[in-house]
Structure 1
């Protein structure tokens, strides 16, 4: 049962960006306004797909129904809605044979309005439910907007269309290839190499952890012995084992391939994935499920039909058979590697929004899994030195479960930050982590155990060491609960919520910075403009703000700029008058409805980059002073870049 729920959720994560492949909705709505009878009306028309039933507005609240909901700004008086269509009322087996009124094929709803004076914009939504067989959808919300024309009639309000020549998004003065000084750099070669290496190492460490799980560890001696004994000579056996290891590495690399297509299709997609509220909540749920699985409450496996189908092909001779053996290992070990891969997937996408990070992480993970099979084939005597499978593998899984819980809180925090809910302030975040760390320590010291485990008869040295490490880490977290200078835990900088998102700060901590106001101030004071493209859920942004910006030298230089921080993942809606459809130079249209929509489009259109943090120095005339830079943890390097931009401005 769990597999049927969890696997579609994981697939949904991968399919969210592919809007072009969405299937048609069961009900398509169109809206028009009318004044033909002398009374203004809004008309909502539904085209219902064959086989679907759209429930009537006359159904009761306890039944599946359709409802028209007016926005809080709606001041006009709404008359009684009138439905037009073939109303049917048949017993519905899915709802204990209740007779629930519904429509098929089409429906028209007319709503007369009165007292429209002073009402320029009418906003609302139609919330409907529909049924086909045993499949039911809803309540689905479809928003509508109407404008009151000068003659008293109503017209559907559409977003105004803006193109690049109008200067709202695309700025003609910003020439990326013409900086006043040639310092800094926008290329991946200059700025991405260290980041890719770090993610590769993290992926490698994740792969090493996966080796010591019950799904993978026992496979090492069995598989190596299979290759070395089955082959006619030792040389061929070693070659087959190494080919097997290479295929494991290749399979995990291939898993990241679709994300390169998405990244090329739209550079903003992966950034949108990593900061999407519902996706972060989905990751939170999935990681909690993974943790419960590691605690032994149930086991997550891929459907047996998939693994059996792949396993049946392992008997094929030569390289093809070896490839399917590697694929079988990847599938049957999913219950242990899945949570670690999920962490890698989510962490890589949120690190900089690029697919190369994910490939680097997957490559490190695959290499760590593949190495033992190649090394033990070369040196079979080493097999005698590896420990036997046993209860210690269960301990590894349980500890990983606690780690998964901690990571789940991080994704819940991302959603909280982006939406400004205020439920996971910095101290609450640390409080939960402290509890998790304390329970993990108690478990490792044998003071807590799970029902499926026997009593700990003797604590081994390794268990004591890790128990002590978790205890020390928990003690390190405690100052994070305080309102003192020690609350800035630099080892975790960027991972918890920012220092300003605190229970001790009673003032408004949500800052919405305005580029136009900052540019105006830059002109008035004749100071260069320092743009900080950032995000509420951006880890490296917090590291820069908490570790680099407070440096005395950097802080003194930044005071000579007008600083504006533009949050590309802010989901707060722009005022109605400021929402529009932007058309870029390639003719691609994009709706600009939120603050984040506006700023991420501003970044990609003018600076051909969608990663955060991203720093740009402009003159008051919007001339580029030097090359933009991204994450720069070296304080002196960042100070040198600021000084270079400042020197270029003063010379200009």
Structure 2
């Protein structure tokens, strides 16, 4: 058991940590098929789970579509256009305000050609595409291919596509001051490395908090002293009773983690990842959470058939040893379902929406650990049970509080569906009004001004209820300025984006002084300031989140505007360079034709990364001053990142 838990923890930490590196989620295989002079070129794309490849017919103003260019054609004619083997999945994108199509898993594109002279023909070209997941978008990428007189295809490895330079050689570009690679320096100077913010930590902590809340429900709280007393009285040896109680707690953990793994096996990791933006599932989640909230308000109880718990109870009585303890734990899980079910359901919904193979299991692990700790703790120190508050009406109050929280959380999922379909029934101000009312009602309930039929009479307001009421009512007041455009950073992960609000008085955004790397270097050299490079993209959702929730902080804004030269480089900028630039990368010759391709090449060549957002601090010679920084909406951590760069520069 100790080995199992150790492996589980190590696996969780490994999955929650990822270092800055080149990511290649789409791999291509290009082949020529058919007999005679008329053939087909088949472009087969392998797409990793959680990623998607945009379709070929993306409207203007959207992300980069998948396109096929043919450069050198000799004794070959193209018949028709490149056609996909299946229709793309389509959804409305609130970020681009349009319906977008993309492919998951695999997709074939086909181009029919007619070879006029099979003994001497040539056709070369490249695929331009962009891959995205729910966290980041990679810059536009090129994959080159060619078919020549040997009748065998020649394809290159995927090459990431990257103001204007009057140069067309790789040596002229990479030999310029500030373009030299600093990948090894970045690795050596940081003990932290560049860790991406992982949703698994959020899921685990959410599960742990959910487990603590479940302990305070009427179905679980009274079971703690009863169960612990049973183990202590059952055996002559108190040491053995403690051991069995600990096994009882471990059994609870195994049951709930097994439930999380079962969810993954039933749906699959990629399916769970797709739930994050699937409108139908988000509507179902919304309805499910409203149902849970109504249950917690006391309209009805969600219970499993009594025959299930009775059968397990009989198994526990007839079995012996570890098996008996396991069946007792399973009985507790079923008996307490009316209270824990809504919490578990909410947790699984949240885990599914975040996606990932381990998310449900990690969430259930956090929930079960919090639930199991009291049973083992009180078995070791039974005298502590005398200090537990007695069961009573306060347990029902906890259920009602959870009902209000479930109701508020359900609106998050309705918001996703609303954005997907473009209904505009839950824009930001509407969402905020509903949350303001929900948390105000919660405050009034805690003060005894609102009662449900199954509530116990309140003769006076206790100190804990008073403080909880103050927190709830204060939170309602905090959200009111959001109706006029205040950013409300505390709930930015839940509320609809600010651009969905009709009336907005907020205008404190931060804008980069330069969008050209060389110009920014020259200015920093003149002003003797450090440089913050912001590798971004027009289609990068998390870049916008960082700009809205972190850069607008007064301290961050002051540092960026006064202490640094801020350079924003858009890796998906489709503006054409004055002259194409030919560079050598991974042993291949690559032609850079757009501004975005140039900045993407800079990020890969100099810093060894290709995901956005990506922030790096350098001096005017291009030397790094601090470890790079990725997507993390912690203002304190970003300020610390900026201060480290200033400290190193001042030395």
Are 2:477 and 1:475 equivalent residues in the alignment?
Answer: yes
Q: How does 1:249-648 map to 2 (within 5 A)?
A: 249-257=253-261, 271-302=273-304, 307=309, 310-314=312-316, 315-347=318-350, 354=356, 361-417=363-419, 421-453=423-455, 455-483=457-485, 487-505=486-504, 530-532=534-536, 534-535=540-541, 543-547=549-553, 550-555=556-561, 560-564=566-570, 629-630=629-630, 631=632, 633-634=635-636, 635-639=638-642
Picking from 218, 225, 241, the partner of 1:214 is 218
8 A Cα contact 2:297 2:452, kept in partner? yes
8 A Cα contact 1:617 1:628, kept in partner? yes
Identify if the C-alpha distance between structure 1 residues 496 and 228 changes in structure 2 by more than 3 Å, giving closer, same or farther: same
Deviations 1:87-106 (A, max 9, x none): xxxxxxxxxxxxxxxxxxxx
Q: How does 1:23-102 map to 2 (within 5 A)?
A: none
8 A Cα contact 1:490 1:547, kept in partner? no
Identify if the C-alpha distance between structure 1 residues 341 and 563 changes in structure 2 by more than 3 Å, giving closer, same or farther: farther
SS of 1:274 mapped into structure 2:
coil
Q: CA deviation at 1:408?
A: 0.8
**TM-score scaled by length of structure 2:** 0.56
SS of 1:560 mapped into structure 2:
strand
8 A Cα contact 1:182 1:627, kept in partner? no
Give the paired residue count: 467
Identify if the C-alpha distance between structure 1 residues 565 and 327 changes in structure 2 by more than 3 Å, giving closer, same or farther: farther
**TM-score scaled by length of structure 1:** 0.55
Identify if the C-alpha distance between structure 1 residues 182 and 311 changes in structure 2 by more than 3 Å, giving closer, same or farther: same
Residues in 2 aligned to 1:559 and 1:309: alpha-carbon distance in whole angstroms: 70
Structure with more contact order per residue of length (Cα contacts < 8 Å, sep ≥ 6): 2
1:156 match: none
Residues in 2 aligned to 1:187 and 1:355: alpha-carbon distance in whole angstroms: 24
Residues in 2 aligned to 1:625 and 1:166: alpha-carbon distance in whole angstroms: 32
Unaligned runs of 5+ in 2: 1-56, 60-79, 88-102, 104-108, 115-126, 130-141, 145-155, 163-169, 507-513, 523-531, 573-585, 587-599
Bigger mean CA deviation after superposition, 234-243 or 553-562: 553-562
Residues in 1 aligned to 2:308 and 2:543: alpha-carbon distance in whole angstroms: 36
Identify if the C-alpha distance between structure 1 residues 449 and 643 changes in structure 2 by more than 3 Å, giving closer, same or farther: same
SS of 2:226 mapped into structure 1:
helix
1:64 match: none
Q: CA deviation at 1:348?
A: 5.0
Picking from 215, 234, 237, the partner of 1:233 is 237
Unaligned runs of 5+ in 1: 1-70, 74-118, 127-142, 152-158, 508-518, 567-584, 586-598, 648-652
8 A Cα contact 2:429 2:482, kept in partner? yes
Residues in 2 aligned to 1:469 and 1:282: alpha-carbon distance in whole angstroms: 30
Deviations 1:425-446 (A, max 9, x none): 3322221111001111222222
Residues in 1 aligned to 2:534 and 2:496: alpha-carbon distance in whole angstroms: 23
Q: CA deviation at 1:213?
A: 0.6
Give the aligned CA root-mean-square deviation in angstroms: 5.8
Residues in 2 aligned to 1:318 and 1:180: alpha-carbon distance in whole angstroms: 55
Q: CA deviation at 1:318?
A: 0.6
8 A Cα contact 2:626 2:645, kept in partner? no
